[in-house]
Structure 1
Amino acid sequence: MADQPVWSAVAALAAAALFAVAAVAQHRAAAAVPEDRPLVGSLVRNRRWLAGIGADAGGYGLQVVALALGPVLIVQPLLVTALVFALPLAARIDGRRVSGRTWLRALLLVLALATFLLVGQPSSGEPTAPLRHWLLPLGVLLGVVALAVLGASVRPRAASPGATSADLRVATDCWPTTATVGTTAPATTAQPPGAPGTRADSRRALLFGAAGGALFGLAAALTDFVAGRFGDGLAAVLGSWQTWALVAAGLLGVYLQQRAFQVGSLAAALPAATVAEPLAAAFLGLTVLDERLRADGFALVVVVVAVLVLAVAAVALARAEAAD
């Protein structure tokens, strides 16, 4: 049908809106959990976080519809507009204003990612690559993820005796509240879960977000193979290492994303994940799945510049959020 691409775009934009709602809800829930408390145990009892998971599920459902009606080159650039939906929504809830520079950086990030996909036009590859082809690229990707997690796990020094960054950022769904920090520090009014943190908080959120996004990219690279195995029966699905790698990457990616939301602002965590996911998937596609970029000459230069702009825009968003 001639109008299918139009409905694909509508479904992709609706999915992006749901992903934005999910990110904002999950961020506010995770940011209210101090780092000295169990994150997962706290989140699974939080209605706001569970509602965010429901919004994520709805977004994925609409993403499947969008991909069924139109090509990836239409759907994927539209999905990254979740960042543009999420920033003003979070600011509105927190009673803040999104600055013009933040808008500019967010839009630049979205345009750079769209340029990478539209100009690079990565081709379909071979999802049935044997395990030996995965070993080196997968090791490189997981090594980068591990380094990012290690860097993000280094907590900044307390700002005052007895106080930690988690103490200073603790908040509840009933914000504002007043909490006593440490044993000698005076009572401090907690900041809202979405409020900007320190530069160290933003750095940690960026690293956790990038690590989670990279794992989501790994899951995306495995999805095509796992989906194709369903035609051979449930036993074929459960007997494939790719299935369990997909599940592990997805679960760990969700956890790291919540850690990013816990330690820093949405503007620091979400752009990093938005950038890392397609880049990790593209890396595995090129090195394992025999995918190719349909770009050469000047087009290839444009793709390289787009990737550099992606990284710079993501870091600039995190730095700007800490400076604000």
Structure 2
Amino acid sequence: MANVEFATLLALGAALLAGVGYVTLQRSAQQVTDEEVGHFTLFHLSLRHALWWLGSLAALGSFGLQAVALTMGSVVLVQSLQATALLFALPIDARMAHHRCTAREWMWAVLLAGAVAVIVLAGDPTAGHARAPLSDWAVVAIVIVPAVLLCVVGARVWSGPAAAVLLALASSAALAVFTVLTKGVVAELAHGFTAMFRTPEFYGWMLVLPIGLMLQQSSLRAGSLTASLPTITVARPVIASVLGITVLDEVIHSGEGQLFTLAVAVAVVVVATVALARDEAAMMAAPVGDLNVPGQLAVS
């Protein structure tokens, strides 16, 4: 139990750093250039931007805390708690951008994070294996690679919040795979660097990380934080949790009453995410003078 509690604290610390990282990376993505550029060009330009490096350091710290947490708890537990990054990111973004978070945004953000917490508590996830056979990862690649490509193509067809959401889904899938691979990489690292370099997970781990970061940066540039971040904070834990259960044989203990609670919590997660994205789309379409409406909460 002590390990699970410590893993929970580390996961929350990772969520805080992730929130800081998301806000900083989003500002970098918006500032790095005024021209319409592709994913590779944006990533290349970001490498020359100091703000991107600051955000990346926060993200690296988040990944590090998650890696340690994964040695003590399940992927489902650690990743589900990453949804709380939204609660950290919204006030930080509001302070840095000198704008107000609406009461609706706070309501949906709290419901979103709360629903994810319920999923963790009701499911009571336990850890499975650290590694999986290559045949299982081949199946994962067959499913995820086309899905990521479809999201990237869709983001070229649509723009604004829709593109941000699609790119967020693509980046979340890549980074979810990275997270699950991390468990195997860290397990082998315990036997030394030589053992880690011999494991296939290490090379897959190194491949998907830059892809995920590149697509995440494009997602953050395509819209404001309330368009991309809700999708990132939900999709990545969900995909990672599914992989943890199906690939690493993690177990969710759910009785009949717990299944109903989990179903309601999942429904709240979906509704809250869609609502935040729609609010962002409405805000982008509204005249500037209509944005300062009653019912907003000032973040000071």
TM-score bin (small chain): 0.7 to 0.9
Shifted more, 95-104 versus 54-63: the winner is 54-63
What residue identity is the alignment partner of 2:107?
Answer: L
Q: CA shift at 1:97, angstroms?
A: 0.8
Please show how residues 194-213 of structure 1 align to structure 2 within 5 Å: 200-213=159-172
Q: For 1:80, what is the secondary structure of its paired residue? A: helix
State the Cα distance separating 1:40 from its structure 2 match: 1.7
The share of aligned pairs that are identical, in percent, is: 38
Q: Name the aligned partner's letter for residue 132 of structure 2.
A: A
* Structure 1 residues 236 and 312: CA distance shift in structure 2, 3 A: same
For 1:24, the equivalent position in structure 2 comes to 23
The alignment's C-alpha RMSD in Å is 2.7
- Quote how far apart the aligned CAs of 1:92 are: 2.2
1:137 to 133, 140, 144: 140
1:65 Cα deviation (Å)?
A: 5.8
- From the superposition, tell whether residues 13 and 143 of structure 1 become closer, same or farther in structure 2 (CA, over 3 Å): same
Shift of 1:119: 1.1
- Would the aligned equivalents of 1:211 and 1:276 in 2 still touch at CA under 8 Å? no
Q: What's the offset of the Cα at 1:122?
A: 2.6
Pick aligned residue for 1:124 from 116, 123, 127: 127
Kept in 2, the 8 Å contact 1:119–1:295? The answer is: yes
Alignment-mate amino acid for residue 112 of structure 1:
A
Residue among 250, 257, 261 paired with 2:220: 261
Distance 2:98 2:191 in 1: 52
Match of 1:108 among 93, 100, 111: 111
Q: Give distance in 2, aligned partners of 1:290 and 1:231.
A: 21
Match of 2:260 among 301, 305, 310: 301
Contact 2:112 2:268 in 1 (8 A): yes
Unaligned runs of 5+ in 1: 156-199
Cross-structure match for 2:52: 49
* Superimposed CA distance per residue, residues 69-125 of structure 1 (whole angstroms, 9 cap, x where no aligned partner): 888787555543221111122122222111111111111111121122221223222
Distance, in Å, in 2 between the alignment partners of 1:294 and 1:4 is: 15
1:314 aligns with 2:298: no
Task: Specify which of 90, 93, 109 is matched with residue 90 of structure 1.
Answer: 93
8 Å contact 1:14–1:62 — kept in the other structure? yes
Q: Which has the larger radius of gyration?
A: 1
Note the 1:112-261 alignment, pairs <5 A. Answer: 112-155=115-158, 200-261=159-220
Q: Which moved more, 1:246-255 or 1:226-235?
A: 226-235
Cα displacement (A) at 1:288: 1.9
Provide the rounded CA distance (Å) in 1 between the counterparts of 2:55 and 2:138: 34
Task: Using the TM superposition, give the Cα deviation of residue 135 of structure 1 relative to its aligned residue in structure 2, in angstroms.
Answer: 2.4
Amino acid at match of 2:86: L
Distance 1:134 1:24, change over 3 A: same
Q: Secondary structure of 1:289's match?
A: coil
Residues 234 and 63 (structure 1 numbering): CA distance in 2 closer, same or farther, change over 3 Å? Answer: closer
Does the 8 Å contact 2:67/2:183 carry over to 1? no
Deviations 1:201-238 (A, max 9, x none): 11111111121112111112112211122244433322
Distance change (3 Å), C-alpha of 1:315 and 1:66:
same
Q: CA deviation at 1:134?
A: 2.6
- Higher normalized helix content (fraction of residues): 2
Is residue 243 of structure 2 the alignment partner of residue 284 of structure 1? yes
Q: Which runs of 5+ in 2 are unaligned?
A: 284-300
- 1: CA distance, partners of 2:109 / 2:140: 30
Residues 247-279 of structure 1: CA deviation (Å, up to 9, x unaligned)? 112211111110101111111111111111111
Distance 1:79 1:296, change over 3 A: same
Inter-partner Cα distance in structure 1 for 2:126 and 2:73: 15
How many residue pairs align between the two structures?
279
TM-score (norm 1): 0.77
For 2:174, give the aligned amino acid: L
Alignment-mate amino acid for residue 98 of structure 1: C
Distance 1:44 1:100 in 2: 36
**Secondary structure in structure 1 of the residue aligned to 2:160:** helix
TM-score (norm 2): 0.82
